[in-house]
């Protein structure tokens, strides 16, 4: 199971390459995140300076509301969710076998 999850990103990336990135599980989240950013006036060209014009804590809360979508798009896009679950299951196996005691 853990090996399947750890190597799953290769399978996902192969699909991305062969479909020219058209088939991507994180695409819907990316679209949602971009729509959310745009609705707040945050664009590709001004995201770095947006905080200069919007310096309050309430603005940060708004930025983070869109940011969470972008964050989870990123976590899915780079297959981190599968890698983390795979490594956790591998850790579970190491822990069961008490392998860390031999280090």
Partner 1 sequence: METATTSPISLSERADILDILRGIALLGICLANYPDFSLYVFQMPEVVAKMPTAMIDKCVAYFHFIFIDGKFYGLFSLLFGIGFSIILLRSRSKRLGLTIFYRRIIILLLMGLAYVPLLWEGDILLLYALIGLCLPLFRNVSDKN
Closest Cα to residue 76, out of 17, 32, 35, 24?
24
| Span near partner 1 by CB under 8 A; candidates 11-19, 20-28, 36-44, 64-72 | 64-72
Q: Is residue 36 a contact point for partner 1 (CB under 8 A)?
A: no
Q: Is residue 96 a contact point for partner 1 (CB under 8 A)?
A: yes
Nearer to partner 1, 22 or 102 (CB): 102
Secondary-structure percent of the chain, ordered helix, strand, coil, rounded to 5: 75, 0, 25
Which DSSP symbol is given to 1? -
* Position among 12, 37, 70, 77 found at the interface with partner 1 (CB under 8 A): 70
| Span near partner 1 by CB under 8 A; candidates 7-15, 24-32, 36-44, 75-83 | 75-83
Residue 46 has which token pair? 């001004």
Q: Is residue 49 a contact point for partner 1 (CB under 8 A)?
A: yes
Q: What is the DSSP annotation of 20-56?
A: TT-S-TTHHHHHHHHHHHHHTT--TTTTTTHHHH--S
Where on the chain is the footprint of partner 1 (CB under 8 A)? Answer: 1, 48-49, 51, 61, 63-65, 67-68, 70-71, 75, 78, 80-81, 83-97, 100-101, 103
């Amino acid at each position: 199971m853990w090996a399947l999850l750890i190597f799953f990103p290769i399978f996902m990336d192969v699909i991305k390459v062969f479909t020219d990135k058209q088939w991507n599980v994180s695409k819907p989240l990316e679209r949602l995140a971009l729509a959310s950013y745009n609705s707040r006036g945050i664009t590709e060209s001004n995201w770095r300076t947006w905080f200069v014009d919007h310096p309050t804590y309430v603005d940060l809360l708004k930025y983070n509301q869109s940011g969470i979508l972008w964050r989870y798009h990123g976590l899915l896009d780079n297959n981190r969710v599968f890698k983390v679950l795979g490594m956790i299951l591998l850790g579970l196996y190491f822990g069961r076998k008490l392998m860390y005691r031999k280090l």
